Structure 1
């Protein structure tokens, strides 16, 4: 067991690893009534088929398996948790599936139920058939959401053969290939303690949490962690432009730039870079900036405007999105702002953005539910959130300018949806 303490936040993180390989992170919150427990499995949509070296699983397998763990004809898991005073939920992302609950009652009974739910499922053919219909309807709902559709379109334009571009829920065709045998195999492969992480936030006894996980029978099977696959891609996008007509109220524009990811960078360095991009976007066209106000005045963007960056070990990109009355002019203006960003960065705005982000992080530590997911995201990368917050103070305008060469012309994609 190890302990990390942040003087800036006056918070403590306790870490341990059980004999079965399960990693545990505990953030004690003395005096808080709510306890939040997240159990993360290192299995997501990027572990599925679609790139060289992957395991051949159909798209949507990780998401389907998440659904199946809640499929129980004998006893509805949500009702069972509710009887214990807990609310349970789950989600699947590109690189992880997370099962979690919150409670103001004693945490042990709900944790016991969660461990059994995740590690000892009953996956039957009848349940798989039933769940296919439910997931098919969910996929159709996603396909009706034009924002989700446009983002998926952008990823498919940026990436040639990387599964990050695949829909997390899969497609109607891909889930048709999923059966109970495949799901059991996926569970046996990925749902092992050495590929899992337990995050606990609340007024808990750390020794009791560690003992509960160490001695729970569900965590005694398997210690081998699945091999992760790195999928380097050419930094040039698969498509440079996509234009489509849609039944929409306003024209929509999405700009993307694909990064050439150096595999030598650590997760910590990637996270710092992601934060630096956020500072750059805020300084360049944050909603209080002169540039943004000028874009609004000219009718090139509206309040839906946003810019984000994602920096992962084997993929990365930026996305700039807006609704607009003039998509061609908006694209030209936004690319021009990015191309001339070095001369437009403002020190005062940058320092304000830095203070605001640190303030947001501090506030997060007073929200148990938000805090569990926030810290877990970094723990899964073996990144110490305390060190990351300290690193934010050291980011400079020169660090922001050093990002700009990544915006090379041959790495760009423009997606336009017209009315």
Structure 2
């Protein structure tokens, strides 16, 4: 089978999340397609394709982008080879001259070959849904002050670290290296320091992507049918105040920077004695609960009703098995923490640490007086820190 024909007709050579300029760069450098051929296929001027190719070439000194392009090239080569092998081994009909186009049952080697490549253990790039799901978590972390993504050579994972007061650093998130490669190729992150450990920061394009993902998530929670299906597997059950139309709710809901939690906002405030209102150890406890909560959303089960653990007197079975690193263990740790906090303290911790609900909205929804929620939240975090210390959990799951 002609490789160029397969790429043009199937459209499955590269995933949809790969930027168009990167696809054209790979078609030109790896597959030998000319600039004019790519321009004719894309309906643009050859100079446009040339600028895109040069732009990607200049970015190959970035280790993540170079790895992403190399992996995509290898995936495309493997996919093309497997489709060609299937085309050669596919049985041919004895006589098709009498068949018209509507009755031709010749196998679709392009689609079948792509499916076989995905199911045969070949190198497969991450999907669009996976990238969007991880981007919500990672881009939100990178938007926090002093945060960066650290990528070391020959390491399978990338780590988000954040500078804390006193010259200390905290590891706030971990992600797979292929996801970090995709984010760099999409220009959501950019390298600031290169070497054995390369540090990346979020770009303006990354902030714009985060806003779009957050808006899509809020739309999905509001119940709009046109919400992207990629967010349906999170299983979140975030409360939405009733009696407000979507436009009014959108204006009143955002009372803080959506890129960081209300706990981070309170951590920068000081009390009347000049001391930090939330010490770093309490912020660490809140972030520990938040990370377990987000990890628990990766479970493929049904939507969780977390508030049931604040009203029921019986301890669920899942709260007894808190060991491990998977979604089930994370859910058990969240349940155990909520049960220990109980009503009131657990309510404010769930809303502010997990749901990222603003303090004003939390006070209103819980029926509390103004400016009383932050005091209750500090007491809840003190109790939460004691719970984590007694259980022997580390501050962060990363």
> Which TM-score band applies after superposition, normalised by the shorter structure?
under 0.3
Structure-2-length-normalised TM-score: 0.23
Compare the two structures and name the one with the higher helix fraction: 2
- Ranked by relative contact order (alpha carbons within 8 Å, sequence separation 6 or more), the top structure is 1
Compare the two structures and name the one with the higher strand fraction: 1
